[in-house]
């Protein structure tokens, strides 16, 4: 090889190295391998394709969830069938805020794995990571475990097209949803879209009915719809009584009701979340731990 060629090769080597480094930075990150036997719950991080094991899930016992018995029974049966490798539906839990939608999903999972650890995995995916669903399903598809894929507070706003990828993943794509994965979502919106977004589609589309159908068809991918509505005062008191009994909070019924009514009035709401916040305040004032 001539001296000039050797000199050119020497000069090109650093440039080629920088080009290779730049291409590595531009390429998508490789999904990390995780031991799915190491925990019963995980959180999906799309930035590095990582499933983070959650050893202690933040949840309350299933029997403490009051005022939603019908929804609880239906979702538990659907989840039990899925865990037993029987047909089951994707589920959309929609309705009033603070009425235990996400708590119910976590409580049912906890009840099942308490009886049989490792039987069912709960994988939480954040709303902003929905476009990465195909990558996540690729990791879960070929495993032996059963997975409840859970997205809390799922909704879509104007100019947000990621709902189309969710539609394809749930049922419409070539691969579709893996048989060992089921999708549970909670939302304040029955159709996952704000009303003004759907009305705007009606007013601007050439064919208004077809435009709205495109939006509404996402919720149709959920075979199970469970509605959660504001609780009555009796249901509110039932929640509080159940907590007091479970955590042995020594307070008279009359005093409990008087304090609970005042608490709900200052919050401007009466629901399961407000009841739990009151119990935390009450236990703190009484010096009782509720771990």
Q: How far apart are CA 284 and CA 78, in angstroms?
A: 37
pTM of the predicted protein model: 0.79
What single-letter DSSP state applies at residue 58? -
Q: Which residues of 35-55 are buried (b: 16+ CB within 10 A; e: fewer)?
A: ebeebbbbbbebeebbbeeee
Mean pLDDT of 237-263: 95
Q: What is the pLDDT of residues 103-116, one digit of tens each?
A: 999 999 999 999 98
| CATH topology (fold) of 41-228 | Rossmann fold (3.40.50)
Q: What is the pLDDT of residues 22-40, one digit of tens each?
A: 655 555 555 555 678 889 9
Mean pLDDT of 85-98: 93
pLDDT at 245 over 80: yes
């Amino acid at each position: 090889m001539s001296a000039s060629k050797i000199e050119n090769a020497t000069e090109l080597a650093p440039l080629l190295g920088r080009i290779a480094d730049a291409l590595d930075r531009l390429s998508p990150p490789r999904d990390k391998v995780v031991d799915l036997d190491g925990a019963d719950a995980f959180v999906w991080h799309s930035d590095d394709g990582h499933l983070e094991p959650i050893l202690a899930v933040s949840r309350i016992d299933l029997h403490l969830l009051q005022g939603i018995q019908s929804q609880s029974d239906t979702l538990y049966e659907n989840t039990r069938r899925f865990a037993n490798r029987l047909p089951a539906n994707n589920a959309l839990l929609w309705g009033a805020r603070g009425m235990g939608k996400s708590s119910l999903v976590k409580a049912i999972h906890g009840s099942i794995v308490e009886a049989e650890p490792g039987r069912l995995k709960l994988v939480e995916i954040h709303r902003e990571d929905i476009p990465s669903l195909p990558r996540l399903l690729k990791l879960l598809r070929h495993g032996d475990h059963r997975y409840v894929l859970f997205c809390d507070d799922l909704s879509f706003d104007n100019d947000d097209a990621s709902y189309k990828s969710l539609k394809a993943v749930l049922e419409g794509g070539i691969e579709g949803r893996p048989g060992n994965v089921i999708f549970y979502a909670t939302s304040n919106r029955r159709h996952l879209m704000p009303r003004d977004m759907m009305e705007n589609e009606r007013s601007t589309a050439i064919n208004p009915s077809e435009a709205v159908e495109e939006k509404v068809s996402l919720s149709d991918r959920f075979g199970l719809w469970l509605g959660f509505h504001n609780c009555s005062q009796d249901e509110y008191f039932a929640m509080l009584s159940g907590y007091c009994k479970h955590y042995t909070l020594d307070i008279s019924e009359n005093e409990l009701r008087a304090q609970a009514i005042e608490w709900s009035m200052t919050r401007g709401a009466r629901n399961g979340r407000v009841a739990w916040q009151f119990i935390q305040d009450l236990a703190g004032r009484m010096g009782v731990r509720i771990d």
